[in-house]
Amino acid sequence: MVARERLAPFEGVARFVIMRRAELGLTQEQLAKRMGTSHSAISRIESGQHRTGVATLERLAQALEARFVMGFETGPREAPVRQLVSL
């Protein structure tokens, strides 16, 4: 798998974080404080170039006043069957 394909989901997370943070009128520093992390950690997440673990995604969702939903797919890529779980 090419690095770009591997990082694509994290680029999607980055886009969501940037958009949601803007909607809430938060700076990276304010979001970091809500999460109990550093400004540089938020910067890495928003770059979309780093893997983000499930525990961090859960804290991120809470800080962004959102729900973290994780899913699984089975079946062919053209017609996947999706099962989602809200954490």
Q: Which residues contact 8 (CB under 8 A, 6 or more apart)?
A: none
CATH number at residue 21: 1.10.260.40
* Per-residue pLDDT at 15: 95
Tally of domains within the chain: 1
* Per-residue pLDDT at 8: 76
Host domain of residue 9: 3-86
Q: What is the pLDDT of residues 16-71, one digit of tens each?
A: 999 999 999 999 999 999 999 999 999 999 999 888 899 999 999 999 999 999 99
Whether the predicted pLDDT of 7 surpasses 70: no
